[in-house]
Chains A and B, each alone.
Chain A
């Protein structure tokens, strides 16, 4: 069987498109976790972003307002989490789980009036160049701005954490909030900011699903992608570049297993369906074997509350 190079290009494009929400949510959560806060509410923040984006697009008709509104909605709902865990010092795990349940519930309530409405076409960039180069151009051109942003984000995040002063502060707060506090860093403020940033990225990830990937609203449309994003952060050992690799493998295998089914490859379908989960974990564990590096990038105070007596 001859495999057409353009066909491979099409598959890679589909894989990249399906990886976008995972990359956005994971990179957001990564910053939150590097500051020492474990927010299990990713799924809840994503679904809030999805309904907010879709609802604002339908009501205002403006894509700009809708995208920023979705990010703002993510910020708002994560403010609740930040207030509870940082100001009232509640348990991170329990509060995060509650945030997910809350998000799913409230999105369903708001979404009641938005079921069965078709979404709007989202503008794509460089569409005229789409047929210019075989194989490469469908991968490079004709995508939404969120798509390009998502693929730049892991590199920015990496640079931010490793090369900037604020990145260093975030890591210090995540590793040893006591020492950071003694150095005069406002731990609570840094953690608030990181939680809110994570909320914004999760909101954007949700908006990508409901406005660009499958422009519609139905309940529970994130379908567990928030949990996968959360798992990617841990299995990538808090490394944004490995998140990119993990998201591509996960998205890739989901799509390739559909192609294998359509080609009539005789492998049990249930096995193919489970494949993305298994392979993503195995690959990420294998590429992150170096225990010294894991120790370096793991925020050692992850999920622990920080008290300051004054």
Chain B
């Protein structure tokens, strides 16, 4: 009697538990896999802002921080797919192969991979932002605001994303000021405030009066503030860290895309896509312009922003030459996405070599 009671009690508990799980699984659940900590105030931080937008839109989300781009990523993805998540966003380039591998095993789960190009299965989409459009605007501002004609650029790692940014920035700066020089320092880190600060200081000591960065921390704009030179915010609005130095910031705005895609999963309208959005679609946002910029520059920047958004102006419009003087893009043509995605040569006017 006693045993039967326990048995029926346990089985009813299990039954109830299954019911609850089934009820929860009906709502769409999104998972996010991050390369760094959400506290980096840079790349991962902005993805997490996007995740919060999904949450605000009424969906359940989970995230896993600091997932290495190795076999660990596969394990994490498999577990997320197994635990009732309907869509999984993998937010770093190195998750490309693990994402495709796990996607094959879970055809009913949707996978969204940031900054990659492999979509081997119908349930894998890729998305990225055209940050180089933002850098065209920064280049225009830097070329106009510099007095020493030396612009410093703190770079992270020699990958197409970063090279594309340097090129786009330099082309825009040369257009408004043919005399400028872009000095590049490779910090070989995405974020290490101390190292970034030292790199920026070296550039300032060598005469740079505008500093651009492709690393994530706010150390560089703080150094610029102390030294009395100009700088630009990276990934998020960094104005409050250096109110005098920061002229504007290029923000990564993933929220609208994330909400859109999770809603598509909920409505059953999700389909495979390759998204590369820029200023026009609001994935790249230019923060408010600093009042130190002259009025004509401000209006010029606003017009450029509108033209980039509408597609009237392209960041890579020919004629563009590489450092050796070979033609990269012919006059009147623009660089296609294939060329942009694999860009590993400097344009004319950039000093130094790309580290191999």
Contact = CB atoms under 8 A, between A and B. Distances in A.
Contacts, number: 112
A152 interface: no
Residue among A118, A214, A225, A266 with most chain B CB within 10 A? A214
B182 to A, nearest CB: 11
Interface stretch (B89-97, B273-281, B314-322, B347-355): B347-355
Nearest to A117: B240
Interface string B1-45: 000000000000000000000000000000000001111110001
A162 interface: no
A118 B218 contact: yes
Interface in B24-69: 36-41, 45
Contacts of A214: 193-194, 196-197, 217, 219, 222-223
Interface string B315-339: 0000000000000000000000000
Interface stretch (B115-123, B129-137, B199-207): B199-207
A170 interface: no
A273 B188 contact: yes
Given A118-B241, A264-B351, A216 B203 contact: no
A115 interface: yes
A3 to B, nearest CB: 11
Instruction: Determine which residue in A10, A217, A223, A258 has the highest number of CB atoms from chain B within 10 A of its CB, and name it.
Output: A258
A contact face: mostly helix, strand, loop, or mixed: helix
A7 interface: yes
A108 to B, nearest CB: 6
Given A116-B41, A264-B352, A218 B188 contact: no
B186 interface: yes
B194 A223 contact: yes
22 contacts: A115-B45, A118-B218, A209-B193, A213-B194, A214-B219, A216-B217, A216-B222, A218-B193, A219-B37, A219-B40, A220-B37, A221-B193, A223-B192, A223-B194, A258-B185, A261-B185, A261-B186, A262-B152, A262-B206, A262-B208, A263-B206, A270-B355
Interface of A: 7, 10-11, 14, 18, 108, 111-112, 115-116, 118-119, 209, 213-221, 223, 225, 254-255, 258-259, 261-264, 266, 268-270, 273
Interface of B: 36-41, 45, 152, 183-189, 191-199, 201-203, 205-206, 208, 217-219, 222-223, 236, 240-242, 351-353, 355-356
